[in-house]
Amino acid sequence: MALLIQKFGGTSVGSLDRIQVVADVIEKTARAGHQLVVVLSAMSGETDRLCQMAQRVSQNPNERELDMLLSSGERVTIALMTMTLQERGIRARSFTGRQVGIVTNSSHTKARITRVTADRVKGTLADGVIPIVAGFQGINESSDVTTLGRGGSDLTAVALASALKADRCVIYTDVEGVYTADPRIVPHARRLEKLSYEEMLELASMGAKVLQARSVEFAAKYGVPLEVKSSFTEGEGSLVTHEDAEMERVSVSGVTGDRNQAKITVVGVPDSPGIAAKLFGAVADAAIIVDMIIQNVSQDSLTDISFTVPKGDLPQALSLVRDIAKEIGARSVEVKDDIAKVSLVGVGMRSHSGVASRMFQALSREGINIMMISTSEIKISCVIEEKFFELALRSLHDEFQLEHIPKTEK
Amino acid sequence: MALLIQKFGGTSVGSLDRIQVVADVIEKTARAGHQLVVVLSAMSGETDRLCQMAQRVSQNPNERELDMLLSSGERVTIALMTMTLQERGIRARSFTGRQVGIVTNSSHTKARITRVTADRVKGTLADGVIPIVAGFQGINESSDVTTLGRGGSDLTAVALASALKADRCVIYTDVEGVYTADPRIVPHARRLEKLSYEEMLELASMGAKVLQARSVEFAAKYGVPLEVKSSFTEGEGSLVTHEDAEMERVSVSGVTGDRNQAKITVVGVPDSPGIAAKLFGAVADAAIIVDMIIQNVSQDSLTDISFTVPKGDLPQALSLVRDIAKEIGARSVEVKDDIAKVSLVGVGMRSHSGVASRMFQALSREGINIMMISTSEIKISCVIEEKFFELALRSLHDEFQLEHIPKTEK
């Protein structure tokens, strides 16, 4: 008998019919003899509906009041799910974030969990009753309702798993797990049975929307084994856990990418101390996240600085950069927004050499020019022309034979 | 500067446009220099929508879970109203039933208030901020959400008024106050400026749906001055307060009625001790409320017993009564369901004689036969044929000249 946390998102509980399907999953787990705690989001669409009403009455709705408004949604799903289970003769009881002791700071709409008491959940489990918990919400020290921001229900599930020392936290979603690549682009992409928290984080930060980075970080910090699987189909998912020897034997776990970046180049920058600090300080002050930075070798005391920013921030970034370029006497500012980033991710890179050169060769064979390169311990990224994005992902997937379950070289 | 409680029901906050109208009322009161606490219901229709979903997932939804479900509705209206006021530059803050300390027993869906702490409301008022409070909901000693049943938001308002020693509790509704008769039946009906709690209770129990009896009882017990007025139109409402000398000078305050009763007569009952107890004990055990009872004078040791029950309970009552009639050897059971009750209400009846005879004469003049009569200290009721219902109300209204503001006889 294991203790499991099962989390279902808004799509999974988006209608009364879908609630019955989720109740099937819960019933099956309970009848198999497991203890479980269920965490639910609001019905899909409900949060948007409430936000639109708020926007209609206020240009800039107060965040404490937004939290009061939005926290109504999960009350509906936990109550309906509990009734559904009770109708099937399964003992269940609903709890709000407050009632399970999800205590947060006071940053309304994006609160951080400070502690989890979980007393009532423990007592309920001990009574043989399934706690059905409202995700996404908590309570601050002043007893006001807070919400945890995007992906907040995942965070509730992971935090409860940690507090209860659960054997596993299962995140049900609309995909079957984490893949070696986006299956819409790479048809042969394979579901990963197992990957490390770090790999999951690199994939999450690259726009793979399976799990929010915050939940993965939390799970890594407290060692919560996470499983991602589909609530629509039967079958195994992907297990996200601590890196182990087996994972390290594989050099590359997956390929991923991001076509939402734009490149800015400041040409002819005087190569003197403090120039880069000035430039990137101004961009950071505007809360624009710079991803990759490349500075050429200086020639005649002049250098070029290239960096990437999210496409949505390009107009603002450009306006800032042009002002500074003038100030520091740079020759010109150039922009290229038809670029994309492709990345290889794998904890095995640490112990396998030659991954980077195989990547460059594979891209070169397809005639794809590499504009920028950045590397971390478990990731190598290249910026290329956007039109080659799909081709690059497929080539890299083939090069590292990711469609095959790896024969781990001992 | 007065401290006012203002309560707005579901119709008053049924749309974003209506919320703006209510915000106008609140803003006007605040700008006039009054302190105020606002109590809101859920948007009209929302409670029905949630109940229907519950009925679809469960034949007999658990009441604790129903309360979890239903208590989501007021969170939406208090948050939206607070945002609306803030957008107008008015300082406001929303609170749930729990947050204002509405503590109840554990009778889910019909909880009774056991105490009201109101600490956060006091602090908020002291800061010059308007508390916007969720009506209808409270919290029990186990920290579970409860709801107060029909008219629960009125009860929240009255309980807060009592705890805060407010100068007045104003219940905004879709009528302009309490009338001498139902204006749809008696076109000359006049709004009462002032009436006593007892008169209001008699009117409420007769189906005048302006205020639920529980709220009036609560207000009477704690001496909370209640005002009923329209949220749709400007102008005065009706003040419900302790009986005063002026009220007593008027013999009749209003006429009211109930066409939802049916009469059962048990004919030829042996006139022996314990028969009535047996009969009405069985009806009471089935939770059927008997209104009027008449027993004829016994002839030849046989008597007839007539009584009225709500029409909806007639089939069940009849089946019970027929069994008992057989058991006690009564001759037959007769039913008449085309009856109606008309009543005169007024605290002045205590000190004015002749009201009953004037009532009987007025009905007689119209050729209306009286089938049953019952009297209390401040009410006289007659059961008549249902087809004479409107005629009887208009005749009585005329007889006691209720369309005129009374010249109080000193």
Q: Show the tokens assigned to B249.
A: 């000078």
Instruction: Flag if A87 and B16 touch (Cβ within 8 Å).
Output: no
Cα angle: A125, vertex A130, A135; to 5 degrees = 105
Nearest residue of A to residue B72, measured between CA atoms: A72
Instruction: Flag if A80 and B69 touch (Cβ within 8 Å).
Output: yes
Q: What is the pLDDT of residue B291?
A: 87
Residue B351: Cβ-neighbour burial (10 angstroms; 0-12, 13-18, 19+): exposed
The nearest CA of chain B is from the CA of A316 a distance in Å of: 28
Cα separation of B292 and B341, whole Å? Answer: 10
Architecture label for domain A3-242: 3-Layer(aba) Sandwich (3.40)
Query: Does position B206 have pLDDT exceeding 60, yes or no?
Result: no
Q: How confident is the model at residue B204 (pLDDT cuts 50, 70, 90)?
A: low
Tell me which residues of chain A, numbers 194 to 253, contact chain B at a CB-CB cutoff of 8 Å.
none
pTM of structure: 0.85
B228-270 pLDDT per residue, tens: 998 888 888 999 999 888 887 888 999 999 998 999 999 999 8
Cβ–Cβ contact B134 with A under 8 A: no
Q: What is the pLDDT of residue A208?
A: 54
Cα separation of B226 and B203, whole Å? Answer: 15
Q: What is the pLDDT of residue A410?
A: 42
Cβ–Cβ contact B78 with A under 8 A: yes
Contacts of A278 (CB under 8 A, 6+ apart): A324, A327, A328
CA atoms within 13 Å, Cβ hemisphere of A127: 13
For chain A, the distance separating the N- and C-terminal CA atoms, rounded to the nearest angstrom, is 34
B227-238 pLDDT per residue, tens: 999 888 888 899
The nearest CA of chain A is from the CA of B72 a distance in Å of: 5
Percent of chain B with pLDDT over 90: 74
Q: What is the pLDDT of residue A249?
A: 80
Instruction: Flag if B83 and A65 touch (Cβ within 8 Å).
Output: yes
B260-317 pLDDT per residue, tens: 899 999 999 988 788 888 899 989 898 898 988 888 777 778 889 999 999 999 999 9
Q: What is the pLDDT of residue A55?
A: 95
Cα separation of B303 and B370, whole Å? Answer: 20
> Which class is domain A266-335?
alpha beta
Cβ–Cβ contact A143 with B under 8 A: yes
Cα angle: A162, vertex A167, A173; to 5 degrees = 85
A195, A249, A290, A381 from A359: Cα distances, Å: 21, 18, 24, 9
- DSSP reduced 3-state for A235: coil
Cα separation of B383 and B371, whole Å? Answer: 5
Residue A311: which of A266, A263, A343 has the closest Cα? A263
Query: Does position B61 have pLDDT exceeding 70, yes or no?
Result: yes
- DSSP reduced 3-state for B240: strand
Residue A382: which of A398, A363, A354 has the closest Cα? A363
Instruction: Flag if A57 and B94 touch (Cβ within 8 Å).
Output: no
Residue B182: Cβ-neighbour burial (10 angstroms; 0-12, 13-18, 19+): middle
Q: What is the pLDDT of residue B163?
A: 97
Q: What residues pair up with B133 in beta bridges, in sequence order? A: B39, B95
Residue A84: which of A17, A169, A29 has the closest Cα? A17
Phi, psi dihedrals of residue B300, rounded to the nearest 5°: 55, 40
Q: What is the pLDDT of residue A20?
A: 97
Q: How confident is the model at residue B205 (pLDDT cuts 50, 70, 90)?
A: low
Across B9-23, b (16+ Cβ under 10 Å) vs e yields bbbbbbeeebbeebb
Query: Does position B409 have pLDDT exceeding 90, yes or no?
Result: no
Same fold, A3-242 and A266-335: no
Query: Does position B410 have pLDDT exceeding 60, yes or no?
Result: no
Cα separation of A224 and A373, whole Å? Answer: 33
Instruction: Flag if A86 and B143 touch (Cβ within 8 Å).
Output: no
Q: What is the pLDDT of residue A271?
A: 80
Mean pLDDT of the region B58-76: 96
Across B265-289, b (16+ Cβ under 10 Å) vs e yields bbbebebeeebbeebbebbeeeebe
Residues of chain A with pLDDT under 70: 204-209, 407-410
- DSSP reduced 3-state for A130: strand
B85-112 pLDDT per residue, tens: 999 999 999 999 999 999 999 999 999 9
User: What CATH number was assigned to the domain covering residues B3-173?
Assistant: 3.40.1160.10
Instruction: Flag if A72 and B69 touch (Cβ within 8 Å).
Output: no
CATH superfamily of A339-399: VC0802-like (3.30.2130.10)
User: How many separate helices (H) and strands (E) can be counted in chain B?
Assistant: 13, 20
B343-368 pLDDT per residue, tens: 999 998 888 878 999 999 999 999 99
B96: Cα separation from own chain's centroid: 24
Q: Count of A–B CB contacts within 8 Å?
A: 104
Strands (E), B211-346: 226-230, 238-241, 254-258, 261-270, 293-295, 302-310, 332-336, 339-345
Cβ–Cβ contact B259 with A under 8 A: no
Cα angle: A287, vertex A293, A297; to 5 degrees = 145
Q: Is residue A59 a contact partner of residue A27, using CB atoms and an 8 Å limit?
A: no
Cβ–Cβ contact B7 with A under 8 A: no
Q: What is the pLDDT of residue A320?
A: 94
Q: Find which of A76, A77, A133 to mutate to test the B interface (most B CBs within 10 Å of its CB).
A: A76
Q: Is residue B75 a contact partner of residue B96, using CB atoms and an 8 Å limit?
A: yes
Cβ–Cβ contact A124 with B under 8 A: no
Q: What is the ipTM of this complex?
A: 0.84
In the block, tokens 């209390």 appear at B376
* Domain ranges (residues) in chain B: 3-173
Cα separation of B242 and B272, whole Å? Answer: 44
The nearest CA of chain A is from the CA of B285 a distance in Å of: 29
Cβ–Cβ contact A84 with B under 8 A: yes
Write down the mean pLDDT value for chain B.
92
Residue A161: Cβ-neighbour burial (10 angstroms; 0-12, 13-18, 19+): buried
Q: What is the pLDDT of residue B65?
A: 97
In the block, tokens 């000190």 appear at B351
Ramachandran quadrant class, B234 (left: phi over 0; alpha: psi -120 to 50; beta: rest): beta
Query: Does position B46 have pLDDT exceeding 50, yes or no?
Result: yes
Indicate the residue of B69, B84, B96 with minimum beta-carbon distance to A57: B84
Question: B73: which chain A residues are within 8 Å (Cβ-Cβ)?
Answer: 72
